Amino acid sequence: MSMSAVRRCATLLLVPAAFAFSSSSAIAACDQYAPQVIRAMAGPYQQVIVSAARANGVNPNLLKAVITAESCFKPAAVSHKGAGGLMQLMPATARRFGVVNRFDTNENIHGGARYLRWLLTRYGGSVPHAVAAYNAGEGRVDRYGTAVPIEETQTYTRRVLNAYQKLSYGQQGGAKPQVVRGAPGSRCEVVTHSLYTIHGNQTLQHVAKRYGMSVKRLAALNKIPRPYKVAHGQRLRVEVCGRWAEGAKSSGSNRAALASKIHERVAKPAEKEKDDRWGFDF
């Protein structure tokens, strides 16, 4: 075999299928690629992604993860429902967030980042809630939480979180963090916020103890006045902390990795068992 033929074969083996095909199955498999492959696909849009992330306070790895699941970095992608561009914006969503041309990569990514920022703010920083709402709409997530009874949304959320975790853990020098709950006297750092749903006759004191927070801090975070009464079904914003492996530094990329690990754990409850460890309704 000639050297040129070898090169051609190597190229076919290395280039992801989504580059050669435009089928939905190819896009669906995009989150299964190795993190270095996803980064290579994101390369042409890196500057815009970083700019949009900084402008809206969104982790750039989350933007890449959403694009991975939405379009597999195909700027001309159009879904069967009419969503278009890298971040698959519907016409109404594009107008809502100031996007004139959905297929302009700069406008599309900035518009998608604005929408994600809006969703993260709405759901207290919870990535799984924001991701589910990006696919199913905030109305359904307001009603069902992350347990939206739509298979497409559940699959989509898993794919985004899978890509997000891969990209966050793939940072050079990033150490895999140990996920812990806060505990009185423990040395841990708050790295993300989550939502907890009150069940039955649980009290604010119960939730505070569960997360290692002081009752006063938990009440202040949720603007609950004395005597600190809560009701079944009420959602509380809680702080989630973690600690690093010995010698690991608390950097921005490490905090992103820890938050990603927490949310990945939230999104994969134990089989055949209601998992309320983190207060989400699955």
Domains in the chain: boundaries: 20-169, 178-249
Confidence of residue 196 (pLDDT cuts 50, 70, 90): confident
CATH superfamily to which 178-249 belongs: LysM domain (3.10.350.10)
Buried b (16+ CB within 10 A) or exposed e, 226-237: eeeebeeeebbb
pLDDT in tens, 139-182: 999 888 888 899 999 999 999 999 998 898 755 444 444 444 44
Element (H, E) at 239: strand 235-243
Cα distance between residue 17 and residue 20, in whole Å: 5
Task: Domain 20-169: give its CATH architecture.
Answer: Orthogonal Bundle (1.10)
Query: Which has the closest alpha carbon to 127: 146, 153, 147, 155?
Result: 146
Cα distance between residue 71 and residue 78, in whole Å: 8
Could you list the active site residues? 70
* 102: pLDDT strictly greater than 60: yes
* 5: pLDDT strictly greater than 80: no
Confidence of residue 192 (pLDDT cuts 50, 70, 90): low
Average pLDDT of the residues in 46-62: 94
State both tokens at 122. Answer: 């709405």
